[in-house]
Chain A
Amino acid sequence: DGGITQSPKYLFRKEGQNVTLSCEQNLNHDAMYWYRQDPGQGLRLIYYSQIVNDFQKGDIAEGYSVSREKKESFPLTVTSAQKNPTAFYLCASNNRDGFDQPQHFGDGTRLSIL
């Protein structure tokens, strides 16, 4: 079955470390997205990519970096510059034809600081 795979499900980071969250999709979607979810807040867009080798900052990109070397993969790196990284991170994808196409979501990665 096609879908989005995020790994790991739980991730722990020490202060000052960079960590990379994986997102892989086999839906042949052009566009991929990273969201952050905090308690009591709606999902916020970190980065998105509409095509391979291109990506754009979302609303809260500071302290994060991404790459899109392959269509099926869109890893997110949480750098030490992100001051409050503890959150639930969701990856999504859809067809490039529009942001108004339904997005398919992964099961998320919960990041905690040790």
Chain B
Amino acid sequence: KNEVEQSPQNLTAQEGEFITINCSYSVGISALHWLQQHPGGGIVSLFMLSSGKKKHGRLIATINIQEKHSSLHITASHPRDSAVYICAVDQTSGSRLTFGEGTQLTVNP
């Protein structure tokens, strides 16, 4: 079992829909990251959080440390949101990021 699990693996939505991507982890962490990878391959860091909730534009990230779970929400989705969304954690016992396999999001017009 991977230390970081994302669901769903693939997600197709219609423009305007509310989207949720989930991330569960099985290790102790100091921080959790949400990343966005566009079709060309470049990766952008969206959020880094260790508790609570963060919001940036139409994106919201939440984390529940007790339940070892995080969610990334996209409100009023748009085709330009189509990308792979990756969850990664900083383990308290280690010195490197551990990545989930990513969620491929496709938003159709």
- Which residues of A are in contact with B by a Cβ distance under 8 Å? 40-45, 48, 58-59, 88, 90, 92, 98-108, 110
Known contacts A102-B45, A105-B44, A107-B40; decide if A42 and B102 are in contact (CB<8 Å): yes
**Number of B interface residues, CB 8 Å?**
25
> Does B41 contact A42, Cβ atoms closer than 8 Å?
no
Give the top 9 A-B pairs by smallest Cβ distance, nearest first. Answer: A42-B99, A105-B43, A108-B41, A107-B42, A100-B31, A100-B90, A102-B45, A43-B99, A42-B101
Q: Roughly how many angstroms separate A107 CA and B43 CA in the complex, as a whole number? A: 7
Minimum Cβ distance to chain B for residue A69 (Å) = 23
CA gap between A48 and B4 in the complex, in Å:
21
Interface of A is mostly: loop
Query: How far, in whole Å, are A3 and B49 apart by their CA atoms in the complex?
Result: 22
Inter-chain CA distance A102–B45, complex, in Å, is 7
- Chain B binding site: helix, strand, loop or mixed by DSSP? strand
Shortest Cβ distance from A90 into chain B, in angstroms? 7
Tell me whether B96 is interfacial, beta carbon within 8 Å. yes
| Distance in Å: Cβ of A59 to nearest Cβ of chain B | 8
Contact B86 A43 (CB under 8 A): yes
- Measured between alpha carbons, how far is A88 from B41 in the docked complex, in Å? 8
Q: Complex: how many Å from CA A65 to CA B2? A: 27
Name the CB-closest residue of B to A58.
B96
